[in-house]
Structure 1
Amino acid sequence: MRSNKISAAAVFPALTVKDTADNEVFLGQRSSDTGWKLVVIYRGKHCPICTKYLNQLEAYKQRLADIEVELVAVSADSAAQLKEHQEQLDVSFPLYYGLSIEQMKGLGLYISEPRSEQETDHPFAEPALFVINSEGRIQVADIANAPFSRPAPDTLVSGLEFLRDPANDYPIRGTYS
């Protein structure tokens, strides 16, 4: 099977998902003109590793806000699944649902079928994250094919603090083709 990987420095695609109030949201749109956005793709409520990771990210929300990086997370779960998952989560950043297979493919994500009906009832994206810069371009992309393969929150946030420091003038990496 062939996958189309989204390129570093590409404009993040216009993807619409839903928030917890069932409002449509443009996933890549930032709430500020100057800031960046960290979009975390997680497997869904069925994944205890994702639950742990999202809860860990909450501890870094202020550090991200200090460097003007907005944090959001999204999965292919349904509204009902997200509502149930929120009972296991202790996060204050926005959570979205309804990522479609076409959207997952457009981002170049790995997509898995559930192992059983007890796991979940739909194909889901494996973990990924995208950091979208103030120009709407992908500054950082991390796409994994397993739930345990994602950057440690402290390493991720420390790296973003370095990137956001104007003294470092750090370019988008991985653009050589």
Structure 2
Amino acid sequence: MANSIKLTTGSSFPSIEATLAEGSRVNLSKAHSGADWQMLVVYRGKHCPLCIRYLNILEEHQAALKEIGVSVTAVSADSKAQLAESMEKLNISYPIAYGLNEQQMKQLGLYISAPRSAQETDHNFSEPGLFVINDEGTLQAIDISNAPLLRPELSVVVRGLTFVRNQDDYPIRGTVAY
């Protein structure tokens, strides 16, 4: 079994770049569209129908997230061509990137899986992850999973972030020890 790092809340989010669907490079930790916090959603790739569904549900929460100053970017290890195929099934307005490599996956502490067959995909891919980075570049919240069926319910995430953003002194949780 391979060892992996574990990102901790309260620490700086690593500087990781990927390529957006239209071809420009983006720092995945940086908020955009007038927001000061960033939510990064890592998904498995076009081969995962649960991921496509999750990304489409995330679109339904864009107005609420924008209202509290949280931007969203999604990323996977897919190629440009695979992302283009995914876009046919996605109805999203937030940026989506491709090309996350294994070194970056490990840097994020994500679980990595091998494809079951060439029909599934042609590369190793990360399992789901959700990272919330605050206006100081610090990890406010982390959720990683080893399977696509274990993801936080987005309505709960949005309600929780709304609560946190409306507090003057809400602390970053989970910083004592692990």
Q: Which TM-score tier does this pair reach, normalised by the shorter chain?
A: over 0.9
Aligned residue in 1 for 2:170 = 170
- Contact between 1:129 and 1:141, CA under 8 Å: does it hold in 2? yes
1:116 aligns with 2:89: no
Q: Distance in 2 between matches of 1:2 and 1:77?
A: 24
Q: Deviations over 1:121-155 (max 9, x none)?
A: 00001000000000000000001000010101101
Q: Secondary structure at the match of 2:71?
A: strand
Q: Cα RMSD over matched residues?
A: 1.2
Aligned residue in 2 for 1:12 = 13
Give the TM-score taking structure 2 as reference length.
0.96
User: How many residues matched?
Assistant: 176
CA distance 1:91–1:33, change in 2 (3 Å): closer
- Contact between 2:40 and 2:131, CA under 8 Å: does it hold in 1? yes
- Contact between 1:33 and 1:134, CA under 8 Å: does it hold in 2? no
Which segments of 5 or more consecutive residues in structure 2 lack a partner in the other structure? none
Q: Distance in 2 between matches of 1:42 and 1:34?
A: 22
Aligned residue in 2 for 1:74 = 75
Aligned 1:12-31 pairs, distance under 5 A:
12-31=13-32
Q: Deviations over 1:87-113 (max 9, x none)?
A: 001111100001010000001000000
- Contact between 2:35 and 2:71, CA under 8 Å: does it hold in 1? no
What code does the residue aligned with 2:14 have? P
| Runs of 4+ residues deviating >6 angstroms | none
Quote the sequence identity (%): 51
Q: Secondary structure at the match of 1:166?
A: coil
